[in-house]
Structure 1
Amino acid sequence: MPSLRDTIADDLRTQITTGRLKAGSRLPSEPRLAADYKVSTPTLRNALALLQAEGLIEKIHGKGNFVRRPLRRLRYTGGRLTPGADLHVTIRTTNLRARGDLIPLLKVPSRTPLTEFLCLTHQGERPQSLARIYVPRDLEPAELAWSRPDRAETREVVIARLPTPEEASTLSISTSLAVLAITRVSADLTGRVIEVARLLLPGDRAEALFTTHHTIEEMRAEG
């Protein structure tokens, strides 16, 4: 038997998907909804949290809960986000020292000088993605070091996880919404790691596309 939380979420979900509750419209107040469904406020908030995690509603502090407008899909492919005319990026650079897991990822000694590029992508006023890119400082004479064509190998690890409170705040998402976390390590022809990038995409709008090209010899060997 479904719980009260799930029953409430199912009913609100149906109202949203059928258009009874329009995109951008404000839901009744939480006390009003709790009274309508004859449940406690915590139970009602648990139901709303499910819909927030699904990307159907968003809670704006001091204003209430709103039906979320359709989000632009973000596609990660070929080592980067598919560009969009209405996306813009702000970049902040910081000088720091290698520590923690950056040491084995970059294959450098502890406290090696690095440059961090913090890139925040927006669509309008809404944050869409967050990237932190680390480059050894002796390789970083240009403004955008990662745009250089000297990569010989790139290794990517993709996981789904919950965001930290700081990440959720930066991306304006709920801490209960899963994110797509991508760690990309690039090396040059000598095998030296020239860049480590950590990308974070909200799970309610992100997808990753990977394409594998097989040679005729590989296909014959597999056949």
Structure 2
Amino acid sequence: MNAKPTPGKADEALSETAAQALHEAATIAGVPAAGKTELIAGILREQILSGKLTPATVLPSERTLSAEYGVNRLTVQRAIAILRNEGLVQSIHGKGVFVRRAGDWPSRTHHRTITVDGDGNYVDSESTGGEWRDIEPPNKYNTNAEGPLALAFGVVEGTPFYASDRLLENDAGTRIFVRNYLPASIAKKLRSITRKPYVSARETFKAAKAAGMKLDFNDYVAARNPTPSDAHSLRIPDGIPMLITRRITTSNGEPILMQETRRSAEDTQLHYRPR
């Protein structure tokens, strides 16, 4: 009588992988179309971060992933785009999508976009999302423009401004500092803003729209060594630069608001989505 073959370790691993794939496909099948992109991205992300997909590994083709998870190729393309934006994979034309080395992965991605809410108002998505919470009370004060601020706005030094500061933190312990500068001349046209305890970008955009202003946005990114105060408040390790982003909002060429954000550059990337 022939003995029944005993499965080897390779067979067991293959069986486990196949079972996991079937489970994931069944899970995705029960998800509404709108959520399948995020779910597939999450599965692939876990495989990369856990080491199941090692650096320099080529991801399965779009056709293979589509068949494996029972979705169309557009859903797969969008899922891979999420991973690409997170720095986990790299597309090489004619060769495929490769897993990047762990040292190349930014652990933090800051999304810098201007969106429009249901009422048609502009929304700054970076610091107004649910991810962030104040760790100090917001602070509003009067200041006068020194050289860099005067140059950014195209005004003479000493021009009066309203400034507002926020120190924010998310659940991962990442901190950002946000400062908004509003010229006093603009504040006279948007009086509702100055009555608030904090001059926010969103409220300024809303008030400007109500006043008939047409808004335009320009972003600038720079890096510099943090001051001891910035290094302490933002928890920036020694030897790591600080990223500074400045978004200047104008109306017919006249600057009405500058939002300056500071953060550690360690393992950090900025994601800009064209409007």
User: Do the two structures share a fold, i.e. TM-score over 0.5?
Assistant: yes
Aligned 8 A contact 2:222 2:245 in 1: yes
Aligned 8 A contact 2:166 2:177 in 1: yes
Opposite residue 179 of structure 1, the aligned amino acid is M
Aligned 8 A contact 2:201 2:259 in 1: no
**Alignment correspondent of 1:62:** none
Opposite residue 113 of structure 1, the aligned amino acid is P
Residues 83/205 of structure 1: CA separation in 2 closer, same or farther (3 Å cut): farther
**Over residues 150-177 of structure 1, what are the superposed CA-to-partner deviations in whole Å (9 max), with x where a residue is unaligned?**
4522111112332121210111222312
**Alignment correspondent of 2:74:** none
Residues 126/166 of structure 1: CA separation in 2 closer, same or farther (3 Å cut): same
**Alignment correspondent of 2:273:** 211
1:108 corresponds to which of 144, 155, 164: 155
What RMSD over aligned residues (CA atoms) do the two structures have, in Å?
2.9
What are the residue-to-residue correspondences of 1:18-57 with 2, within 5 Å? none
Residues 134/160 of structure 1: CA separation in 2 closer, same or farther (3 Å cut): same
Residues 93/127 of structure 1: CA separation in 2 closer, same or farther (3 Å cut): farther
Deviates more, 1:107-116 or 1:117-126: 117-126
Structure 1 portions without partners, runs of 5+: 1-16, 19-70, 214-223
Determine the C-alpha separation between the residues in 1 that align with 2:107 and 2:138. 22
Percent sequence identity is 18
**Over residues 98-127 of structure 1, what are the superposed CA-to-partner deviations in whole Å (9 max), with x where a residue is unaligned?**
111111211222211101111111125945
Determine the C-alpha separation between the residues in 2 that align with 1:136 and 1:130. 20
Matched, 1:146 2:206: no
- State the 1:145 CA deviation: 5.0
What are the residue-to-residue correspondences of 1:85-124 with 2, within 5 Å? 85-89=130-134, 90-123=137-170
What is the aligned length?
Answer: 144
Aligned 8 A contact 1:115 1:134 in 2: yes
Bigger strand share: 1
Aligned 8 A contact 1:96 1:116 in 2: yes
Aligned 8 A contact 1:74 1:82 in 2: no
What are the residue-to-residue correspondences of 1:127-142 with 2, within 5 Å? 128-140=175-187, 141=191, 142=193
Query: What is the TM-score with the length of structure 2 in the denominator?
Result: 0.46
Opposite residue 180 of structure 1, the aligned amino acid is L
**Alignment correspondent of 2:221:** 158
Opposite residue 85 of structure 1, the aligned amino acid is G
Structure 2 portions without partners, runs of 5+: 1-48, 51-105, 115-123, 209-213
Bigger helix share: 2
The structure whose RCO (Cα within 8 Å, separation 6+) is larger is 1
Query: What is the TM-score with the length of structure 1 in the denominator?
Result: 0.55
Determine the C-alpha separation between the residues in 2 that align with 1:118 and 1:201. 14
**Over residues 178-220 of structure 1, what are the superposed CA-to-partner deviations in whole Å (9 max), with x where a residue is unaligned?**
22211221101x211001222112123532112336xxxxxxx
Residues 84/104 of structure 1: CA separation in 2 closer, same or farther (3 Å cut): closer
Opposite residue 88 of structure 1, the aligned amino acid is R
Residues 160/111 of structure 1: CA separation in 2 closer, same or farther (3 Å cut): closer
Aligned 8 A contact 2:182 2:258 in 1: yes
Determine the C-alpha separation between the residues in 1 that align with 2:109 and 2:138. 19
